[in-house]
Amino acid sequence: MSKKYTILGIESSCDDTGVSIISTDGNSFKILFEKTASQIDIHKQYGGVIPEVAGRLHCEAIAPLLEEALSSVANIDAIAVTAMPGLITGLHVGVEAAKTLSYTKDIPLVGVHHIEGHIMSPLLNKGAAIDAVSFPLLALVVSGGHTQLVHVHEFGSYSVIGDTRDDAAGECFDKVGKLMGFIYPGGPKVSKAAIGHEDNIPLPRPMMHHDSLDFSFSGLKTAARYYLRDNPNADVGDVSASLEAAIVETLAYKTKKAAMQIGAKTVFVVGGVSANSALRESLATSLETQHIALIAPELAHCTDNAAMIACAATRRVMHGSFDSVSELTASPVGMLPQ
């Protein structure tokens, strides 16, 4: 029987404090504990995440979550923590908590790239396993801070082949949502308001037919802003449906192009915006014609969570490739491992 590893995950890169414990044989993953403290109710008063407030709220939330996790599961083999990229005020809290635990309890430590966590999140689905994933694999990472197409050579080795040149897709949903009066985060509310409405407002699909695999969403946001300014009585449902269609069409078009370029057999769609059902449907339809499998995480693991961070640390835990307590630092930016 293969050895099982128990890994504690910590996530605090934005506005969710997440703590999770997983058990893994290196191929499939079982969640033993999972809890997230969301800060959305506080940040929505300001229309977005305020970094200083986020840092303070992570400080308040993290110790009780860790206490609860560690009292429910014994014998942790390693601690995985998001070390980059993200809001530095939040990352510091998670990294310092992880380092303190590592030092005082003598448990090895692994710093994880937040996007690698998202990329591995579909492996947390029930019945999923690494050896069941057909390569070549492409990941579409769509969140509030990122819109990237990532060629996954193998888990642990990544090339970013497409990226946003300005706003992320989630940011575009959130900012136009705010203009329509939706409380932060606007993405899910825009998606709900779009139901039963037509894509009948001509909004641009920036860079859709550009040679590169890059995206740009700031022009779309501006076009929606001007439309709302010039049409104060516009139907919010129609604007939502048209915005969603413009974002989804652009993402699906570029994803299919990238998938064909690398000869992908599988596409993972991950990150907060992967909860969007119009995006899932559009991707599934366009990839099906090329016999490419589409896999998305369960809804609870689309947005930020600590189980995906523990999952992403597994390979390094198995190889005994740990970070030292004195050297691991939080960083607001950083490249995916190559």
- Residues near Zn ion (CB under 5 A) are 143, 304
Please state, in angstroms and rounded to a whole number, the distance separating the CA atoms of residues 173 and 310.
Answer: 29
Please state, in angstroms and rounded to a whole number, the distance separating the CA atoms of residues 283 and 247.
Answer: 12
Q: Which two tokens stand for residue 167?
A: 């706003």
CB of 321 to ligand KG4, least distance (A): 25
Residue 312 sits at the vertex; the CA angle it makes with 24 and 6, to the nearest 5 degrees, is 30
CB of 1 to ligand KG4, least distance (A): 35
117 binds ligand KG4 per the rule CB under 6 A:
no
CB of 271 to Zn ion, least distance (A): 6
Q: Is residue 174 a contact partner of residue 48, using CB atoms and an 8 Å limit?
A: yes
**Closer CB to ligand KG4, residue 264 or residue 273?**
273
Give residues 267-286 in contact with ligand KG4 (rule: CB under 6 A): 271-273, 275-276
CB of 191 to ligand KG4, least distance (A): 4
Work out what residue 275 binds among Zn ion, ligand KG4, none; the CB cut-off runs from 5 to 8 Å by kind. ligand KG4
Going residue by residue from 6 to 45, which x/- string records binding to ligand KG4, judged by CB under 6 A?
Answer: --------x-------------------------------
> Kind and range of the H or E element at 51?
helix 51-72
Amino acid at 160: V
Give residues 187-226 in contact with ligand KG4 (rule: CB under 6 A): 187-188, 191
Please state, in angstroms and rounded to a whole number, the distance separating the CA atoms of residues 176 and 225.
Answer: 7
**How far is the CA of 242 from the CAs of 34, 98, 168, in angstroms?**
36, 44, 17
Q: Give the ranges where 231-288 is alpha helix by DSSP (H).
A: 236-262, 277-288
Q: Is residue 273 a contact partner of residue 244, using CB atoms and an 8 Å limit?
A: no
**Closer CB to Zn ion, residue 249 or residue 304?**
304
**Closer CB to Zn ion, residue 174 or residue 304?**
304
* Chain residues that interact with ligand KG4, rule: CB under 6 A: 14, 143-145, 170, 173-174, 185-188, 191, 271-273, 275-276, 303-304
